[in-house]
Structure 1
Amino acid sequence: MTTFTNARLVLPDQIRDGSLSVAQGRIAAFGGSGADVDLEGDYLIPGIIDLHTDNLERQTQPRNNARWPSRSALLTHDAQCAAAGITTVFDALCLGDIGFGKARNQTFEDAFVDLRALLPLGALKSEHFLHLRCELPAPEMPGMLARAIDDDRVRLISLMDHSPGLSGQYADVERYRQMRRDEGVAEGELDTIIAELQDNHHAYHGPNRAFVIAEARQRGIPLASHDDHTEADVARNAEEGIGIAEFPVSLAAARAARARGMRSIAGAPNIVRGGSHSGNVAVLDLVREGLLDALASDYVPASMLEAVFCLAAREILPLPAAIGLVTAGAADIAGLDDRGRLAVGLRADLVQVRVYEGLPVVRSVWREGVRIA
């Protein structure tokens, strides 16, 4: 048995000074006779659960024209997650090209193989699940989904449509044009890309949507919508049994999701940066209205811890409730009832945190009682 002493235990509804004992990878008791790990008055929180991270994509393509070896990229991504206090990570892999040169498709193909190879070896620090992001206008998406969906690591599927000028994050076609110009795409090539993506939307969105929903329902895999704009978007999703609104881009959509009993996920970087990088709703507004169930790292693993301490420092939420957005709330959405809280019998996924001049810093991380960072 290991006892963590001199801790500020962040429980679901309070912060309590004390100690916690761990045995066989589980929280055994509050209190304990040993003094195996002195936390020196730091916070002890549950391991963070990240339902959506694109961080692996950033490691596989650190620069536009520089692709990194996939297995090395996965190990780097894993280490960054562990260092950020994330003990459970849902690798969000895109299925289907949306005009970015097939790079995302390659990331999926490589990561799917690499995860299956590395998991049995015990080479990964955090526990990894798969979040399959299905791009509905992509003709190749159904085949990619069929190859992956029966893997037992697939725990979440989201429906996306990033067709420029039509739906999703790029509904504003001029914003999309400017983003691609900044990436160096020539105007003539850009016109071709937009026309092709819009044609694919009209040809494939409907049948692909029906296919994904049917396949997920058959296996009991939770479904999320992505980038909902309007109440009509939310109504359609709810009627088709989609229970999660991921990254709603308007306050109206988030309110509609809550009214229909859907769970909502938003990006932690939005809070850290003080707003959306793409002109969408401020996540702080969702939190103030009680419309949010979980935060995800989106593209910066360290953002999750910083965001929740920001919420507490600004007195928008008490710290236990803020921590719940990256622990218990995420666990509930994913159906992971063995983690996400400091409670006897749950997994000893633990993070030691100290605040330096307002900034939370991860000092140590344990997964099932074993130190990983």
Structure 2
Amino acid sequence: MRPLSPTCSLDDPLRSAQDPFAIQGGRMLTPEGWRETDLVISEGCLRPGIPAGSVPTLDARGLWVLPGLIDLHGDAFERVYCPRPGVRFPLEMALQEHDRLLLANGITTFFFSIADSFEPGIRGRESARRLVEAVKSSARRLRVNGYVHLRHEESQVNGLDELVGWMESRRIDLLSFNDHLPDPDDRAQVARFLKSLRLREHLSEDDAYRMIREAVAQREQGRSQCDELARRARTLGIPTASHDDDLERLRQSVRRGVRLIEFPMNGATALRAKKEGLAVLMGAPNVVHGRSHLGWLSVREAVRSGSVDLLCSDYHYPSLMAAPFILAKDGLCSFETAWRMVSAVPAQQVGLAHRKGEIKDGYDADLVLLDPAANGSTPIRGVIVGGRIAALFPDVSR
């Protein structure tokens, strides 16, 4: 018997996606409910219900075996790549460190939310170009399944042909339309924008105001370009999203054929999006805090009204693992429903539901093994990605 413990080396042959092994003794969450049965993993895929036989095993007694977390919107990688304003580390080093961070939080499929903005620096086009290429070229060297979610600012009008080329060459897996541009005459909006900007870049106030005014002048041209990008995305089968919608912006999103609304500003917008047949994504940090840090719609309120479908890490990876436990503990929904919000439902929204997000025969073997009695410490004991043991964590509380 091969125990689930740090004594099981990650250099072990079990790491090969081609070598079959089994998880035994765990409580497994399937689409039909909880099951206690062997889970065989072979050639990177799940084979539930097949007897383990003589293949090597992981002893998961006392643990839950769940589909791995699927995160459609996470931008905390920016702080790994650029931990101080204007300070950047080699991308390969940053991606390797970030990969381990994702595994430590049970995220097995991650959409790098890369900004394509009018801003200079880490959220500008040059940086987006480097990040997109790095994510795509590093896929075989990273353990977590990596995809590109390009967050395109509507006032970024430069390089349209390049962006279309990325779409046509399948470098973009999810395209969202963003408008973070503050009203230059609203001092409070500008102050908040500048505060955020200065966490990333060194920019004088005069230069920042000049940048804002230039972007405002380009807004209508940018909106027209986004209409065209939405049409191309539909043709190419690339899922699209819209960011920070209010009711007015939601009408634009519906007209563009967007399928996913990220972080609606209020309950009326979220409910209207649902009536229009759109899915609503909100941030897991909102669950942990109990409110939006911007004073917008609370996830708790949205769960009660049935106006949120899925969660993402947004800016804090540990919150994605914590959120289902909190929602269940507070009686807002069942744990099973909450876990679907971070696994099966995200997979559905980006065309991965045929192979990810659930424990089903033939699906990708992307799993997290959790200790439900973790007593406040991280519950993660193991992470499997693509049939490989990607990480094992000891229980340091015992």
Structure 2 residue corresponding to 1:177, chosen from 182, 186, 191: 191
Identity of aligned residues (%): 29
Letter in 2 for 1:208: Q
Match of 1:16 among 25, 30, 35: 35
User: 76, 84, 89: which one pairs with 1:68?
Assistant: 89
| Secondary structure at the counterpart of residue 372 of structure 1 | strand
Contact persistence 1:158–1:226 (CA under 8 A): yes
Matches for 1:239-318 after TM superposition, within 5 Å: 239-318=255-334
Aligned to 2:227: 210
The CA deviation string for residues 34-68 of structure 1, in whole angstroms up to 9 with x for no partner, is 57111131111001111111122221111113211
**For residues 11-160 of structure 1, what are the structure 2 equivalents within 5 Å?**
11-12=30-31, 14-30=33-49, 32-34=51-53, 36-97=57-118, 99-101=119-121, 103-119=123-139, 122-160=140-178
1:243-298: per-residue Cα shift (whole Å, max 9, x none)? 11122121111000000110111111111122212221111211221212211111
CA distance in 2, matches of 1:238, 1:67: 38
Residue 175 of structure 2 aligns to a residue whose secondary structure is strand
Matched, 1:227 2:247: no
Deviations 1:18-43 (A, max 9, x none): 33222222221236245711113111
- Tell me which residue corresponds to 1:350: 367
Q: Distance in 2 between matches of 1:253 and 1:217?
A: 23
Secondary structure of the corresponding residue to residue 217 of structure 1: helix
Q: What amino acid does structure 2 have at the position aligned with 1:177? A: A
* 8 Å Cα contact 2:132/2:171 also seen in 1: no
Q: 1:191 to 1:132 in 2, by over 3 A?
A: closer
Contact in 2 for aligned 1:74/1:111 (Cα 8 Å)? no
Counterpart-to-counterpart distance in 1, 2:312 and 2:122: 25
Among 289, 304, 325, the alignment partner of 2:341 is 325
Question: What is the one-letter code of the residue matched to 1:312?
Answer: A
Work out whether residues 71 and 111 of structure 1, in 8 Å CA contact, stay in contact via their aligned partners in 2.
no
Partner SS for 2:25: strand
Q: Distance in 2 between matches of 1:102 and 1:310?
A: 33
2-structure distance, mates of 1:109, 1:79:
23
> Deviation at 1:123?
0.8
Q: Which runs of 5+ in 2 are unaligned?
A: 1-19, 392-398
| Matched-pair contact (CA < 8 Å) for 2:182–2:193 | no
Moved more, 4-13 or 341-350: 4-13
Render the CA deviation track for 1:172-200: whole Å, top value 9, x for unaligned: 75144145247386554444343233223
- Structure 2 CA distance for aligned equivalents of residues 278 and 78 of structure 1: 29
Aligned pair in 2 of structure 1 residues 218, 338: CA closer, same or farther (>3 Å)? same
Distance 2:218 2:298 in 1: 31
Deviates more, 1:110-119 or 1:70-79: 110-119
TM-score, with structure 1 as normaliser: 0.90
Equivalent-residue separation in structure 2 for 1:25 and 1:221 (angstroms) = 26
Query: What is the match of residue 4 of structure 2?
Result: none
Partner SS state of residue 149, structure 1: helix
User: In 2, Cα distance between the equivalents of 1:38 and 1:227?
Assistant: 44
Q: Deviations over 1:209-267 (max 9, x none)?
A: 2221122122121111111111x322332233111112212111100000011011111
Aligned AA for 1:30? G
Aligned residues of 2:86 and 2:121 also touching (Cα < 8 A): no
Deviations 1:83-113 (A, max 9, x none): 221111111111122x354644343121222
Q: CA deviation at 1:11?
A: 2.3
Which residue number in structure 2 is paired with residue 4 of structure 1? 23
Count of residues paired in the alignment: 364
Contact 1:164-1:173 at 8 Å conserved across structures: no
TM-score, structure 2 length as denominator? 0.84
Q: CA 1:33 to 1:149, structure 2 compared with 1: closer, same or farther past 3 Å?
A: closer
Letter in 1 for 2:305: E
Amino acid at match of 2:40: S
Change (3 A) 1:313 1:102: closer
Query: Cα RMSD between the aligned structures?
Result: 2.3
Are residues 106 and 284 of structure 1, via their aligned partners in 2, closer, same or farther at CA, if it must alter by over 3 Å? farther
- Secondary structure of 1:265 counterpart: strand
CA distance in 2, matches of 1:172, 1:332: 39
